[in-house]
Amino acid sequence: MERSYYKQARDKALKDYKEISRQIHELNLRKGQLRETILALNSLCSRLPNVESLSLSNAIRVVYATTTRFLSAIEVKGKLEDLGYNVSRFKNPLASIHTALERMAKTDELSKREDEDEKKFEAGKKLKKPPVEIRHSEADSALAVMRTGDEDKADETEDKSLGHSR
């Protein structure tokens, strides 16, 4: 009789173990999905710098300080508009942007690549720092939590990266 009790207890423990393992697998899948969602939404949550009073070149520096890929003049124009930069103050905004990109490429602030009749630019090795602070949002805190798994440690990590002490 005692053997059947132990067998039942073991069978219940195995059943619980399998259920917990299934739940862990589902949670890991969900965690991965959430991580991708957070990464995708991060750029939408960033606080945008005030670029209205900047020169075109400085506004372009802000654009390239917030991206890591090659951009065409049309894409740069779109990003400037997204930042709230008034490109309509120029008679021909696209020509002005293209001229600024070419000048910045000549001084190695940008690197140029030509793709099928389209010139694209990325941040170069001598890109000057934009004259405005580019602040990051609570989305960056969320990414720190994702890296550390601990909100308190994430806050400390973020404070250190921003130069603050607790």
At residue 165, the pLDDT reads 40
Rounded-to-5 percentages of helix, strand, coil across the chain = 60, 10, 30
What are 59-80's pLDDT values in tens digits?
999 899 888 889 999 999 998 9
Domain map (residue ranges) of the chain? 2-47+135-161, 56-123
- Which of 118, 39, 132, 128 is CA-nearest to residue 71? 118
Q: What is the pTM of this model?
A: 0.54
At residue 92, the pLDDT reads 96
Q: What percent of the chain has pLDDT over 90?
A: 46
Of the options 3.40.640.10, 1.10.10.10, 3.90.1150.10, 1.10.357.10, the CATH number for the domain spanning 56-123: 1.10.10.10
At residue 139, the pLDDT reads 47
At residue 158, the pLDDT reads 42
Q: Which long-range contacts (CB under 8 A, 24 or more apart) does 105-112 make?
A: 109/61, 110/64
